[in-house]
C-alpha cells in the first residue's frame, strides 16, 4: 500500500445551488487527495412522483407534463453546473450517476465531454481506474429493480452490474467501490422506506472491497463494516453533509458545510 490517502465522499447534490459556494470553500480547507461522488445531481422530484403514480396504477410514466419538461431543463443545468464545479477543484474526481440523473444518454454525453476537457474528472459508472495502491470502480443508478429504465429514471436490472463488476473478483490489490444504491444494512434508510439492495451485499462478499461509498438513502448517513468492507454513506450534500475517510486507516469523519469556520 502506498501513502495514506484523504478521501472526500459526497452524494446527492440534487440541484442545491446554495451549497456550491460552501463546497468551493470546503475543498481547499479539507484538501483531500481524491473526491468520490455517488451521484444524484438532478432533483427529479416530479419524475419520481409520476413514476410512483404510474407504478401504482400499472401504467407507463409519461414525460409529457409541462411541469416535468420544465424540471428536466432545470435538472440538466444542475448536472452540468455540479460536474463542472467538481472538475474545477482540480482534484481527481470519480463520479457515477444517481437514480434521477437521466436520461442515460444525456448523462454520458455531458460527463464524457467534460472528462475530455478535465483530465481529473473520471467517469466511473461501469468503469474502473487503477491508481497507485488501489483500484476505484463503480456502478450508478438504482439497482433495486428487475427491469431497466434508462430514459425516465436510471434503474438497472441485476445482470448489468453483475456482468460489469464480476471481473473485479480476479483483479489484485485493494479496491474502492462506488454505488448510488446502498447495500442492505443500517445505512439504507430512505425518506419513507429502506432502499438497500441485496445484490450489493453479494458483490461485497465476492469482490471484498476495502471501502464502499454509497448514497441515495436520505436518512442513512453513517459508517458500518460488512465483513472486511467499510461502508460509508456521507449523507446528502443538499443538506450540507459530507464525509472524510482516511485511507487505508479507515478513519471516518462526518461534517456539514454549515459548520465551516467563519461561515456567515
Domains and CATH numbers, the chain: 5-259 (3.60.21.10)
CA distance 244 to 256: 11
Percentages helix, strand, coil for the chain (3-state, rounded to 5) are 35, 25, 40
Cross-strand pairs, 127: 138
Contact 145, 159 (CB under 8 A): no
Which residue matches cell numbers 481547499? 28
Inter-axis angle of helices 66-87 and 20-30, nearest 10: 20
Q: DSSP characters for 215-227? A: ---TT--EEEEET
User: What's the confidence (pLDDT) of residue 52?
Assistant: 85
CA distance 46 to 65: 9
* 129 SS3 class: strand
User: What's the confidence (pLDDT) of residue 264?
Assistant: 47
Tens of each residue's pLDDT in the chain, 264 residues:
468 999 999 999 999 999 999 999 999 999 999 999 999 999 999 998 998 888 888 888 888 889 999 999 999 999 999 999 999 999 999 999 999 999 999 999 999 999 999 999 999 999 999 998 899 999 999 998 888 999 999 999 999 999 999 999 999 999 999 999 999 999 998 877 889 999 999 999 999 999 999 999 999 999 999 999 999 999 999 999 999 999 999 999 999 999 998 754
* 48 SS3 class: helix
Q: Which helix (H) or strand (E) holds 22?
A: helix 20-30
User: What's the confidence (pLDDT) of residue 262?
Assistant: 77
Does the pTM exceed 0.85?
yes
CA distance 175 to 226: 15
User: What's the confidence (pLDDT) of residue 2?
Assistant: 61
Cross-strand pairs, 229: 226
User: What's the confidence (pLDDT) of residue 1?
Assistant: 46
Contacts of 264 (CB under 8 A, 6+ apart): none
Contact 168, 124 (CB under 8 A): no
Contacts of 73 (CB under 8 A, 6+ apart): none
Contact 214, 253 (CB under 8 A): no
Q: Which helix (H) or strand (E) holds 134?
A: strand 134-139
CA distance 200 to 23: 29
CA distance 76 to 108: 12
Amino acid at each position: 500500500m502506498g501513502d495514506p490517502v484523504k478521501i472526500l465522499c459526497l452524494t446527492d447534490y440534487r440541484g442545491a445551488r446554495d451549497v456550491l459556494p460552501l463546497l468551493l470553500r470546503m475543498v481547499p480547507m479539507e484538501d483531500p487527495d481524491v473526491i468520490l461522488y455517488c451521484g444524484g445531481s438532478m432533483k427529479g422530484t416530479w419524475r419520481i412522483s409520476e413514476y410512483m403514480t404510474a407504478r401504482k396504477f400499472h401504467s407507463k410514466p409519461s414525460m409529457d407534463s409541462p411541469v416535468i419538461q420544465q424540471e428536466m431543463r432545470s435538472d440538466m443545468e444542475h448536472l452540468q453546473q455540479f460536474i463542472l464545479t467538481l472538475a474545477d477543484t482540480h482534484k481527481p474526481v470519480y463520479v457515477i450517476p444517481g437514480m434521477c440523473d437521466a436520461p442515460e444518454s444525456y448523462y454520458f454525453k455531458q460527463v464524457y465531454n467534460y472528462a475530455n476537457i478535465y483530465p481529473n474528472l473520471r467517469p466511473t459508472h461501469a468503469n474502473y481506474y487503477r491508481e497507485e495502491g488501489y483500484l476505484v470502480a463503480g456502478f450508478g443508478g438504482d439497482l433495486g429493480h428487475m427491469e431497466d429504465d434508462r430514459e425516465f429514471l436510471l434503474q438497472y436490472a441485476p445482470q448489468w452490474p453483475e456482468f460489469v463488476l464480476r471481473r473485479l473478483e480476479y483483479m489484485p490489490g485493494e479496491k474502492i467501490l462506488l454505488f448510488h444504491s446502498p447495500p442492505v444494512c443500517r445505512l439504507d434508510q430512505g425518506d419513507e422506506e429502506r432502499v438497500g439492495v441485496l445484490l450489493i451485499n453479494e458483490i461485497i462478499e465476492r469482490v471484498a472491497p476495502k471501502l464502499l461509498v454509497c448514497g441515495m438513502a436520505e436518512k442513512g448517513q453513517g459508517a458500518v463494516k460488512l465483513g472486511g468492507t467499510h461502508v460509508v454513506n456521507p449523507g446528502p450534500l443538499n443538506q450540507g453533509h459530507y464525509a472524510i475517510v482516511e485511507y487505508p486507516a479507515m478513519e471516518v469523519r462526518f461534517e456539514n458545510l454549515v459548520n465551516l469556520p467563519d461561515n456567515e
